[in-house]
Amino acid sequence: MNRLAGVTSPYLLQHADNPVDWWPWGSAAFEEAKRRDVPVLLSVGYSACHWCHVMAHESFEDQETADRLNAHFVSVKVDREERPDVDAVYMEAVQAATGQGGWPMTVFLTPDGEPFYFGTYFPPEPRHGMPSFRQVLEGVRQAWTERRDEVAEVAGKIVRDLAGREISYGDSLAPGEQELSQALLGLTREYDAQRGGFGGAPKFPPSMVIEFLLRHHARTGAEGALQMAQDTCERMARGGIYDQLGGGFARYSVDRDWIVPHFEKMLYDNALLCRVYAHLWRATGSELARRVALETADFMVRELRTEQGGFASALDADSDDGTGRHVEGAYYAWTPGQLRDVLGEEDAELAARHFGVTEEGTFEHGSSVLQLPQQDGLFDAARIESIRDRLLRARAERPAPGRDDKVVAAWNGLAIAALAETGAYFDRPDLVDAALAAADLLVRLHLDDQARIARTSKDGQVGANAGVLEDYADVAEGFLALASVTGEGVWLEFAGFLLDHVLTRFVDAGSGALFDTAVDAERLIRRPQDPTDNAAPSGWTAAAAALLGYAAHTGSEPHRAAAERALGVVKALGPRVPRFIGWGLAAAEALLDGPREVAVVGAGPDDPGARELHRTALLATAPGAVVASGVAGGDEFPLLAGRPLVDGRPAAYVCRGFTCDAPTTDPQRLRDALGG
């Protein structure tokens, strides 16, 4: 029986034809394990995961291995992107037991869901001190049949240890100047001054930290914060982690110099980085930041947009190298010979120098990942653009990486915010339209009649999995950005519906702490709760930021109070681990700044003076500022209430805590008032 054939997850569908008798996550699988008195193999991954593919080819497609699994286990396959709650709970156990984690995640469970043996990738043969996967299966089988008491004891201890872990939220007070200064000092100590970024290899784009650095500079004028943000963004944009032909960023760099990426392209990375580069341009006017923001936005719309108007999750790291083998990076890497085949001798030599392609290669098998090691202006710009265009068209003839077409609500929320703001900054209404289409899809398909949000959809079919905290928070963030950009108050209303769920279903009433799953969600061995950022902002701090923005728009004291209490965890963790709570630090910057509330009123929807004031407000660097625009006397936004024209002219009102400065009709005075 093929239980995966009807699922919506592209990752699970990749395994639907395996000889392994896979079950999707659910009570039926655990009931079957109880009936047969066998353990559960939990295998967690995602469609763009390179090593997930490797283990699938080596083990899950192997008939003998499958026979052992089918005889002695109930095998459950989980897409971590559809069920981040399941992934989080068992990854916590894996990391606690082994000191490390990653995907594929391989966990053996009792029929009650209690973990007792852990790992990630296991090879088909013993290798580098690792047992083979078949050896692991045999060892677990023997332990289950011959030492059941020992297994039960281990499983029980792990569950008790997990249950005893508590998040420290300090005194539930939001961080102040001292904690944010300590966080900046901590980042300075970990900063790689030669290469940009933080820490060593592998090196991940520090999107949330850069947002904090930009906001901290805007609020305090700290030049060191801006310098770290600028240098990191430039090094990433010139490195191989950035697609120098098609735009967009890969998941991370395997080296400290940003040269060789892990080639999968994720929606969340590109949404976050698009917004970061747009904000860097807003702060500095950098032409490089402008180009990268726009190219990344265009990449998302061109390569990730679905027929329904949402955005797909990822592009795979692997693709066919032309010989039928799936190879990581085959789509993106170039040899000097391949350059000559496309460009001819003379232009190929120029391209090799411009993009850092060498005979030895910077990647594998003599191939190179394109970079921009030279400074701009050394080569004729028109000629380089012609070369880039020809290479891009030639690359399009290669077998393309696979695309994970599922629409994840949270990541689409991040994309909506990025595209709305980038479109507004650079006068690209097509990007704003793309953000609106994605927002409309989420409302039509993902929200039910009680504004509960579904985690995923695919091909216009909504998935069965409930949204988690990051879905509510990031979609609310996207809707708030869309409201500020478009002047359409309906997006503020939708954000409010989502944040009401956060207050009633995700917040602990006693402490103000947040959980990643709703109070009425499926019960796991532990209710997941993590305030630290991973590849995207944590649901906890994303919710705090969205609650704060909504409160600034509406004056809602419950939403502001919840945001302040939630940011207590940032006071506790920010000075200690600033790299891992960047979004919370950015939210704390907004709180310290007010955040500012800007109301722009005009005589009508096409009032040019109001449009100029509106654009000026959007381009201001004041951390977390919210902008409401509309007709004087209109009711689209609470901030517009009681805000008349000034001497018959469009005007802007700048407030903090609904206490306002005198209105201005002058864009330059508005710019000065907002620090932009």
Say which amino acid occupies 44: V
Q: End-to-end distance of the chain based on CA atoms, in angstroms?
A: 62
> What percent of the chain stands above pLDDT 90?
85
Give me the residues paired with residue 659 across strands.
656
23, 114: one domain: yes
Q: Is the pLDDT of residue 173 over 60?
A: yes
Q: Is the pLDDT of residue 377 over 70?
A: no
pLDDT at residue 49, rounded to an integer: 85
Domain end point (choices 367, 400, 433): 400
23 to 69, 83, 435, 457, 639: CA distances (angstroms): 12, 14, 36, 20, 51
Q: pLDDT band for position 11 (50/70/90)?
A: very high
284, 420: one domain: yes
Q: Is the pLDDT of residue 379 over 80?
A: no
Query: Tens digits of per-residue pLDDT, 41-88?
Result: 999 999 888 889 899 999 999 999 999 999 999 999 999 999 999 999
Domain end point (choices 400, 419, 451): 400
Query: Tens digits of per-residue pLDDT, 208-265?
Result: 999 999 999 999 999 999 999 999 999 999 999 999 999 999 999 999 999 999 999 9
Q: What is the number of structural domains in the chain?
A: 4
395, 509: one domain: no
CA nearest to 175, candidates 659, 552, 586, 558: 586
352 CB-contact burial (10 Å; exposed 0-12 / middle 13-18 / buried 19+): buried
Lowest mean pLDDT across 117-126, 426-435, 496-505, 578-587: 117-126
Q: Is the dihedral of CA 529, 532, 535, 537 positive or negative?
A: positive
Q: Is the pLDDT of residue 413 over 70?
A: yes
Q: pLDDT band for position 1 (50/70/90)?
A: low
pLDDT at residue 146, rounded to an integer: 94
pTM: 0.95
* Calpha distance 621→296 (Å, rounded): 21
pLDDT at residue 48, rounded to an integer: 83
pLDDT at residue 297, rounded to an integer: 98
Say which amino acid occupies 673: A
Q: pLDDT band for position 324 (50/70/90)?
A: confident
Pairing of strands 626-631, 596-602: parallel
Query: Tens digits of per-residue pLDDT, 326-348?
Result: 888 999 999 999 999 999 999 99
DSSP track, 429-480: HHHHHHHHHHHHHIIIIIB-TT--BBSEEETTEE-SSBP-HHHHHHHHHHHH
Query: Tens digits of per-residue pLDDT, 276-321?
Result: 999 999 999 999 999 999 999 999 999 999 999 999 999 998 887 7
Q: Give the residue-averaged pLDDT of 338-367.
A: 94
Residue 168 forms part of a structural domain: no
* Calpha distance 232→237 (Å, rounded): 9
Residue 171 forms part of a structural domain: no
Edge to edge, the sheet with strand 105-109 lists 22-24, 74-79, 40-45, 105-109, 115-119
Residue 444 forms part of a structural domain: yes
201, 259: one domain: yes
The residues, any chain, with a CB within 8 Å of residue 353's CB and separated by 6 or more, are 374, 379
Q: Give the residue-averaged pLDDT of 401-418.
A: 97
Residue 2 forms part of a structural domain: no
Residue 566 and residue 544 in contact, taking contact as beta carbons nearer than 8 Å: yes
Residue 4 forms part of a structural domain: no
pLDDT at residue 264, rounded to an integer: 94
Query: Tens digits of per-residue pLDDT, 102-150?
Result: 899 999 999 999 999 988 999 999 988 889 999 999 999 999 999 999 9
CA nearest to 104, candidates 20, 171, 34: 20
Task: Enter the tokens of residue 377.
Answer: 């202006």
- Tell me the angle at which helices 148-163 and 133-146 cross, rounded to the nearest 10 degrees: 100
Mean pLDDT rounded to a whole number for the chain = 94
pLDDT at residue 102, rounded to an integer: 86
121, 77: one domain: yes
* Tally of CB atoms within 10 A around 390: 17
Q: Is the pLDDT of residue 394 over 80?
A: yes
* Calpha distance 58→65 (Å, rounded): 9
Lowest mean pLDDT across 509-518, 548-557, 581-590, 617-626: 509-518
Query: Tens digits of per-residue pLDDT, 190-200?
Result: 999 999 999 99
Residues of the domain holding 88: 10-163
Residue 20 forms part of a structural domain: yes
Residue 3 forms part of a structural domain: no
Q: Give the residue-averaged pLDDT of 627-635.
A: 93
Domain end point (choices 546, 577, 593): 593
Say which amino acid occupies 172: S
Hunting for tokens 């039910």 — which residue is that?
448
Q: Give the residue-averaged pLDDT of 558-564.
A: 97
325, 310: one domain: no
Q: Is the pLDDT of residue 164 over 90?
A: no
Q: Is the pLDDT of residue 676 over 60?
A: no
Hunting for tokens 């110099």 — which residue is that?
257
276, 409: one domain: yes
345, 488: one domain: no
Q: What is the CATH number of the domain that holds 435?
A: 1.50.10.10
501, 547: one domain: yes
Q: What is the CATH number of the domain that holds 35?
A: 3.40.30.10
Residue 237 and residue 273 in contact, taking contact as beta carbons nearer than 8 Å: no
How many DSSP H helices and E strands does the chain contain? 25, 19
Phi-psi region of 359 (alpha: psi -120 to 50; beta: other; left: phi over 0): alpha
432, 453: one domain: yes
Long-range contacts, 367-370 (Cβ 8 Å, 24+): 367/329, 367/333, 367/334, 367/335, 367/338, 368/333, 368/334, 368/335, 369/240, 369/259, 369/260, 369/261, 369/329, 369/332, 369/333, 370/240, 370/243, 370/244, 370/245, 370/332, 370/334
DSSP structural state of residue 59: I
48, 147: one domain: yes
Q: Give the residue-averaged pLDDT of 514-541.
A: 95
Residue 5 forms part of a structural domain: no
Say which amino acid occupies 393: R
* Calpha distance 11→4 (Å, rounded): 10
312, 323: one domain: no
